[in-house]
Amino acid sequence: MIRPGNIFWIGLALTLGYGLYHLKHEVKALEDELFHLNRQILAEQQAIHVLRAEWSYINQPQRLQSLSQRHLDLQPTRPAQIGTLATLPARPADAPAPAIAASSPAIPAPEAPTLKARVNSNAPAKPPQAAMPQQSAVLAADRRETPGVR
Amino acid sequence: MATRLSDALRALPARLRLEGTGMQAMETARHRLMVGGVLFTVAFAVVALRVVDVTMLKEGHEPRVASHHRQTGPERDRADIVDRNGELLATSLSTASLYANPKLILDANDAAAKLAKVLAGTTEKDLARRLASDRSFVWVQRNLSPRQQFAVNRLGIPGLFFQRDERRVYPHGALTAHILGFTDIDNRGLAGIEQSYDDRLRQVDNPLQLTIDIRLQHVVRQELTASIEEFRAIGGAALVLDVPTGEVLALVSLPDFDPNAPGAAESDTRFNRITLGTYEPGSTFKIFNTAAALDFGVASLRDGYDASKPIQISRFTISDYKGQKRWLSLPEIIMYSSNIGSARMGIDLGRDRQRQFLSRVGVLKAAPFDLPEVAAPLIPNPWRDINVMTVAFGHGISVTPLNLAVGVTAVVNGGILRPATLVRRPGDVTSPSERVMTQRTSDQMRTLMRLVVERGSGKAANVPGYAVGGKTGTAEKIVKGRYHRDMRISSFVGAFPMHAPRFVIYAMLDEPKGNKATHGYATAGWVVAPLVGRLVNQIAAIYGIPPVDDNAPEFRDQMLINVAVR
């Protein structure tokens, strides 16, 4: 004497049971994947860490200097080579535009007055602080002075 | 079933009427069923609501259990150390360490023979002894390379196990040896920053930032090495301080060692001359003596002292190295580095005031510093009149180069004493500071120090455009209680640019020997001043400091000084 109601309840129970079972397996698979991803992330972080140490090792100033001496024609910066915009002499107002400006279409003609205005405006002599130290530092660290330069 | 039963119960009265006690029992049963039904309904409703809450309403995020797998970074016992630009100076790398359970090892001798072939630095005899012991844990070797680990695995000896270990690595090797120090096999700091910041490095994960600039450190070490070789010195040291903050930008002590293998280093290479070495400062101390005289108003720039003949006191004679044999003005005393003039100035100043001033600039006690290796100065006790005279020109007292450089920083920066630091503080935290002399004294001292480099003994340190100022100092070493004429400590302490000092530089050579280029002289003016000149050049290049015109009126006026009055 199986009633339709009973069939409904039994069916519901079976469906739910299967659904739960399936969900559980899916979650388990996802957890496994998460675990492996985390493991992988850790391994990558470890590798990055080792590479950072190696990067620092191959960036020894001593080594960079010998490399630069072997491959580059650079010498340590001398004080006379360091300057700011303000130390540049002002261009005469009625001077003809330099040939390079005239011939190159990339540089518009009114360039000259702007430069003059900047120099004349007596703006505080501000060297490009942000970029300069690093740049010249790398150069300085990488080169040994040749005896003749001193 | 429950519904059907209640139906039946509800249906009962229709067919069957009970009277009296029977009816009462029926009523009770009904009430009880009702109460039970309500209870169950409420319980299931709560469960249902909770299920809805947990599965649908709770933000739907991952259960907490899963996050236990997650870790923010690789497991590490000790934080990194970086320089002021973030360059890595010290880090910890994971390695494998090999240990054995001798109880599980079948044939100790055979295992030892095989292992000794694979592991460099072990002997078969020693291994056999350890593997045959009756403990259940012995280290075989710590920190194996991956290659060694593979080789050991391939041997397939039972009873050997690996454990994850860590090894401190210093990518820059000897360059920062005296600053960083080193750790023992268990990664406990034994020297330098590793020791003084041991707790910080263990507990906090983010890197410890130092004030050192590795580029400058390299340049200083290289130039110092060149000078040591040139003058066949047995050692040397150099220190560069940032004047506004008191931060140490470079600290070099030579000879040095490789902190990656501190055990192999000879003990004298581990000696940090800057913080542990106490040396007679020689004439560099005249800076403090003169500053004291100016600060207490004992002498002014227009005064002077008779330096025509040596001073005889008990069995000592105080004479000048290159005597002018006449009355000298105060600027001349500094310029020619006159011992006689300084001694007389010291007498005028008096014992108490001299002592008080030296104590104020911090040269009478160990300088507070971020390294554990700091020596205390050797000061005369009792402080007699003869000591007053010798201390005036830097003899009969021994201080560390750190003491001297920090004191000179206070002299040139406007009179504010600030302890030197090696660890970068956050931008808004300034180290404690105190005024130790007037601004006026500091201004006058800067002109005097500039004078020494412009026209006096420190000419070789001059770099056009950077207004270098400073003072040379040459002190004979004491051997068996007597000054030895051929063994000197030649030093220079200076700053630049003198109209607004940014860097204080100290450099020292231990037992330099003169050569042809210096006409046989090994005094500071000949051997150390040129080194400082080269350092100024390099520092200016690294930090991109534009040179100024030395003869520009605004600087000229500031540095102007009347040398001779009579």
Smallest CA-to-CA distance from B424 within B128, B192, B181, B83 is with B83
Q: Give dist(CA B457, CA B454) in Å, integer.
A: 9
| A31 touches B at CB < 8 Å | yes
Nearest by CB to A137, which of B70, B91, B542?
B542
What percent of the residues of chain B are helix, what percent strand, and what percent coil, each to the nearest 5?
45, 20, 40
| B218 touches A at CB < 8 Å | yes
Beta B208-209 vs B81-82: how paired, if at all? parallel
**CB < 8 Å from A in window 464-493 of B:** 464-466
B231, B488 contact by CB (below 8 A): no
Provide CB contacts within 8 A for B161, sequence distance 6+.
B98, B99, B100, B101
Nearest by CB to A56, which of B73, B74, B88?
B88
Write the pLDDT tens digit of every residue in B298-352: 888 888 888 888 888 877 888 887 777 888 888 889 988 889 999 999 999 999 9
- H-helix or E-strand spanning residue B168: strand B160-169
Smallest CA-to-CA distance from B289 within B244, B326, B333, B240 is with B333
Q: Do B89 and A56 touch (CB under 8 A)?
A: yes
A interface test, pick of B77, B85, B172 with most A CB neighbours within 10 Å: B172
Nearest by CB to B93, which of A53, A55, A77?
A53
Nearest by CB to B218, which of A46, A136, A141?
A141
Question: Which amino acid is residue B122, in one-letter code?
Answer: T
Residues in chain B within 8 Å Cβ distance of A149:
none
Distances B304 to B261, B294, B332 between C-alpha atoms, Å: 56, 12, 8
Q: Give dist(CA A106, CA B127) in Å, integer.
A: 76
Q: How far is B269 from chain A (nearest CA, A)?
A: 20
B interface test, pick of A49, A143, A144 with most B CB neighbours within 10 Å: A49
Catalytic residues of B: 283
Q: Do A52 and B91 touch (CB under 8 A)?
A: yes
Cβ count near A126 (within 10 Å): 9
Q: Do A127 and B544 touch (CB under 8 A)?
A: yes
- Give the pLDDT score at B485: 78
Give the total number of structural domains in chain A: 1
CB pairs under 8 A between A and B: 110
Q: How far is B186 from chain A (nearest CA, A)?
A: 20
Domain range for A52 is 28-74
Residue with tokens 């913080």: B275
Structure-block tokens of residue B354 = 């001299």
Smallest CA-to-CA distance from B402 within B378, B379, B375 is with B375
Which homologous superfamily is B218-559 in? DD-peptidase/beta-lactamase superfamily (3.40.710.10)
Residues in chain A within 8 Å Cβ distance of B218:
60-62, 65, 141
In a domain, A46, yes or no: yes
- H-helix or E-strand spanning residue B167: strand B160-169
Please list the pLDDT of chain B residue by residue as tens digits (566 residues). 555 666 666 666 555 566 677 888 888 999 999 999 999 999 999 999 998 888 777 765 555 554 544 455 556 678 899 999 989 999 888 888 888 888 888 888 888 888 888 887 778 888 888 888 888 888 888 888 878 888 888 888 888 888 888 888 899 989 999 999 999 888 888 999 999 999 998 888 888 999 999 999 999 999 999 999 999 999 999 999 999 888 999 999 989 999 888 888 888 888 999 999 999 998 999 999 999 999 999 888 888 888 888 888 877 888 887 777 888 888 889 988 889 999 999 999 999 999 999 999 999 999 999 999 999 999 988 888 888 999 999 998 999 999 999 999 999 999 999 999 999 887 666 678 889 999 999 999 999 999 899 888 888 998 888 889 999 998 888 877 778 877 889 999 999 888 889 999 999 999 998 888 888 888 888 899 999 999 999 998 888 888 887 777 666 666 666 666 55
Torsion of the alpha carbons at B287, B292, B298 and B300, rounded to the nearest 10: 40
Torsion of the alpha carbons at B230, B231, B236 and B238, rounded to the nearest 10: -60
In a domain, A64, yes or no: yes
| B88 touches A at CB < 8 Å | yes
What is the SS3 string spanning B345-405? HHHHHCHHHHHHHHHHCCCCCCCCCCCCCCCCCECCCCCCHHHHHHHHCCCCCEECHHHHH
| A9 touches B at CB < 8 Å | no
In a domain, A44, yes or no: yes
| B70 touches A at CB < 8 Å | yes
Q: Give dist(CA A68, CA B384) in Å, integer.
A: 58
Q: Give dist(CA A57, CA B337) in Å, integer.
A: 45
Q: How far is A116 from chain B (nearest CA, A)?
A: 22
Residue of A nearest to B94 (CA): A46
**CB < 8 Å from B in window 35-74 of A:** 35, 38, 42, 45-46, 49-50, 52-57, 59-62, 65
Structure-block tokens of residue B1 = 């079933």
Smallest CA-to-CA distance from B436 within B417, B413, B419 is with B417
Q: Give dist(CA B212, CA B215) in Å, integer.
A: 9
Q: How far is B72 from chain A (nearest CA, A)?
A: 8
Q: How far is B175 from chain A (nearest CA, A)?
A: 9
Structure-block tokens of residue B367 = 């300088």
For chain B, domain boundaries? 2-45, 218-559
| B219 touches A at CB < 8 Å | yes
B467, B550 contact by CB (below 8 A): yes
